[in-house]
């Protein structure tokens, strides 16, 4: 290849517009290189349609005039030429008017433009022919091998520009897509944030409603529990007042007999006894309410070995266990040592055992409570399991609520599990849960091995 043509190719190949995908600049650059290097009158770039039935002129350089003429060729009108293109080879026509592959252009295209010689070289993109570079001269020209190779190199460079243009288009589309996705994500995030805020607001409202409902149930329970013994006491004292007034009237009238005095005295004593009994019940209830508030501040934590501590607690409820014919099995690691409050923990265990004895078992002959302890690096766990009837969904849901009981007719107050919950969560800094198993119900306590010092 001539040195001049090699120099032109080197300059074009290094031009940054090629790899930027700037097809407008590339069109001008390549066609100017062709008209200068090959000394021809006209050059143009034509691109095939996807189905290869049409070919449109994308850019043309005629002398010094750059243009984008509205020219389209169809396979239907020029079948020989398009068949030649299908072979994806150069069309080299020194006499284009009589060349078998270009002769059909003679009257319509070549003669009006004064074209005598044509060199068409295919443009390939991803290995597929997508168009041609058409090189035309108005005088008869013998196309040299160097010129044909030169045109082929330029066609390959144009294919490179097409690839760069495609890459830039994809990058632009990707950026637009990313921008669209960012907008969508931002919009969705905003919507989710608003939904989350609404959900949190609704949750807070529900919590407040539930707090008020729980407070209402608590107040109603307290009122009911205290009202009953106080009502009995008021009735008894009223009866005593009526009896005393009757005695006074009989005495003033001089009609009080020894028998009547004895009978009225017995009735007043009975009323006073009823008052004392019910007032004491009221005092006991108030003390129970105070216990459920959990944790007096004067409690002192100490280190307890559960394998020694729990059996001592069981001794205090031995009579209750015998009364209900319940056996207790212990699975306690000998070295498990916890930092906790002895008296509240004993109260928790006592209440749970009392609760199991009174509520867990129906008429089954073998009644058993298992107490299991375990630990990990930071906490200890105590499982109190029974082989009783278990609890239904409603009982599980409300077990820790004040005054919830299924045995009110037997005198149960419904404060035992509330006391356990408050002591575990507030004083022992742990949590307590209930769940059923195949063989009964399990109460699980989880507490830290060492209590944190309140600030």
Fold of 3-171: Beta-Lactamase (3.30.450)
Residue ranges matching CATH 3.30.565.10 in the chain: 302-448
Separation between Cα atoms, residue 274 and residue 74, nearest integer Å: 117
97-123 in b/e burial notation, b at 16+ Cβ within 10 A?
bebebbbbbeeebbeeeebbbbbbbbb
The matching CATH number, chosen from 1.10.20, 2.60.40, 1.10.287, 3.20.20, for 207-292 is 1.10.287
184 to 32, 105, 175, 177, 197: CA distances (angstroms): 47, 54, 14, 10, 19
Residue ranges matching CATH 1.10.287 in the chain: 207-292
Query: Taking Cα atoms as reference points, which of 106, 96, 105 lies closest to residue 139?
Result: 96
Separation between Cα atoms, residue 163 and residue 125, nearest integer Å: 7
pLDDT of residue 214: 57
Q: Are 96 and 110 in contact (CB under 8 A)?
A: yes
Dig out the tokens for 285 from the structure.
């209830």
pLDDT of residue 213: 66
Separation between Cα atoms, residue 229 and residue 226, nearest integer Å: 6
Q: Are 84 and 101 in contact (CB under 8 A)?
A: yes
When the pLDDT of each residue in the chain is averaged and rounded to a whole number, the result is: 86
* Whether pLDDT at 295 is above 60: no
pLDDT classification of 420: cutoffs 50, 70, 90:
confident
H helix count then E strand count, the chain: 12, 14
Q: What is the percentage of the chain residues whose pLDDT exceeds 90?
A: 41
* Whether pLDDT at 208 is above 80: no
What does the pLDDT average to over 369-395?
Answer: 91
In the three-class reduction of DSSP (H, G, I as helix; E, B as strand; rest coil), residue 431 is classed as strand
CATH number at 302-448? 3.30.565.10
Element (H or E) spanning 443, and its range? strand 440-448
* Whether pLDDT at 67 is above 50: yes
pLDDT classification of 455: cutoffs 50, 70, 90:
very low
In the three-class reduction of DSSP (H, G, I as helix; E, B as strand; rest coil), residue 301 is classed as coil
Q: Is the Cα dihedral 283, 287, 288, 289 positive or negative?
A: positive
284 to 270, 287, 410: CA distances (angstroms): 21, 5, 16
CA angle 143, 144, 147 (to 5 degrees): 90
pLDDT of residue 116: 95
Which region among 358-367, 383-392, 432-441 has the lowest average model confidence (pLDDT)? 358-367
Separation between Cα atoms, residue 304 and residue 345, nearest integer Å: 10
- 0.85 exceeded by the pTM? no
3-state secondary structure 30-57: HHHHHHHHCCCCEEEEEEECCCCCEEEE
Separation between Cα atoms, residue 421 and residue 291, nearest integer Å: 11
Q: Outline where DSSP puts E strands in 182-258.
A: none
What does the pLDDT average to over 353-362?
Answer: 87
* Whether pLDDT at 78 is above 70: yes
pLDDT of residue 347: 87
* Whether pLDDT at 141 is above 70: yes
Q: Report pLDDT digits (tens) over 441-450.
A: 999 999 998 8
pLDDT of residue 443: 93
Higher pLDDT, 38 or 223: 38
248 to 44, 76, 238, 256: CA distances (angstroms): 137, 136, 15, 9
In the three-class reduction of DSSP (H, G, I as helix; E, B as strand; rest coil), residue 373 is classed as strand
* Whether pLDDT at 292 is above 70: no
* Whether pLDDT at 293 is above 60: no
* Whether pLDDT at 253 is above 70: yes
Cβ atoms within 10 A of the Cβ of 90, count?
A: 18
- Torsion angle defined by CA atoms of residues 292, 297, 299 and 301, in that order, rounded to the nearest 10 degrees: 110
**Which residues are registered as beta bridge partners of 330?**
371
pLDDT of residue 294: 46
* Whether pLDDT at 376 is above 80: yes
* Whether pLDDT at 131 is above 90: yes
Separation between Cα atoms, residue 63 and residue 138, nearest integer Å: 11
Q: Report pLDDT digits (tens) over 183-193.
A: 899 898 999 99
């Amino acid at each position: 290849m001539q040195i001049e043509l090699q120099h032109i190719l080197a300059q074009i190949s290094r031009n940054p517009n090629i790899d930027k995908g700037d097809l407008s600049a590339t069109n001008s650059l390549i066609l100017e290189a062709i008209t200068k290097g090959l000394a021809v009158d006209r050059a143009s770039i034509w691109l095939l349609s996807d189905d290869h039935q049409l070919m449109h002129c994308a850019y043309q350089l005629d002398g010094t005039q750059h243009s984008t003429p509205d020219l389209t060729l169809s396979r239907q009108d020029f079948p020989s030429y398009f068949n030649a293109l299908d072979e994806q080879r150069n069309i080299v026509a020194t006499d284009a008017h009589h060349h078998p592959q270009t002769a059909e252009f003679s009257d319509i295209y070549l003669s009006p433009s004064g074209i005598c010689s044509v060199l068409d070289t295919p443009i390939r993109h991803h290995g597929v022919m997508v168009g041609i570079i058409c090189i035309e001269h108005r005088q008869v020209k013998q196309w040299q091998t160097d010129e044909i190779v030169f045109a082929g190199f330029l066609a390959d460079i144009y294919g490179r520009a097409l690839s760069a243009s495609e890459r830039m288009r994809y990058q632009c589309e990707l950026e637009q897509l990313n921008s669209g996705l960012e907008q969508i994500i931002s919009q969705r995030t905003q919507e989710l944030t608003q939904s989350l805020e609404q959900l949190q607001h609704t949750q807070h409202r529900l919590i407040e409603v539930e707090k008020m409902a729980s407070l209402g149930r608590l107040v109603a329970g307290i009122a009911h529990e205290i009202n009953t013994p106080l009502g009995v006491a008021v009735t008894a004292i009223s009866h005593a007042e009526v009896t005393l007034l009757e005695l006074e009237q009989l005495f003033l009238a001089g009609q009080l007999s020894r028998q009547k005095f004895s009978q009225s005295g017995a009735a007043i004593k009975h009323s006073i006894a009823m008052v004392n009994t019910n007032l004491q019940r009221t005092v006991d209830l108030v003390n129970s309410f105070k216990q459920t508030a959990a944790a007096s501040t004067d409690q002192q934590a100490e280190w307890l070995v559960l394998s020694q501590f729990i059996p001592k607690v069981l001794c205090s409820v031995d009579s209750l266990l015998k009364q209900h014919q319940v056996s207790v099995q212990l699975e306690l690691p000998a070295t498990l040592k916890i930092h906790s409050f002895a008296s509240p923990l004993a109260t928790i265990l006592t209440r749970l055992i009392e609760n199991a004895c009174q509520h867990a078992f129906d008429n089954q002959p073998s009644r058993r409570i298992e107490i299991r302890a375990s630990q990990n690096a930071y906490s200890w766990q105590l499982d109190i399991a029974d082989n009783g009837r278990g609890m239904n969904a409603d009982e599980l849901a409300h077990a820790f609520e004040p005054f919830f009981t299924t045995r009110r007719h037997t005198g149960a107050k419904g404060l035992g599990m509330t006391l356990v919950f408050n002591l575990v969560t507030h004083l022992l800094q742990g949590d307590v849960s209930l769940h059923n198993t195949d063989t009964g119900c399990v109460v699980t306590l989880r507490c830290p091995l060492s209590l944190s010092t309140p600030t």
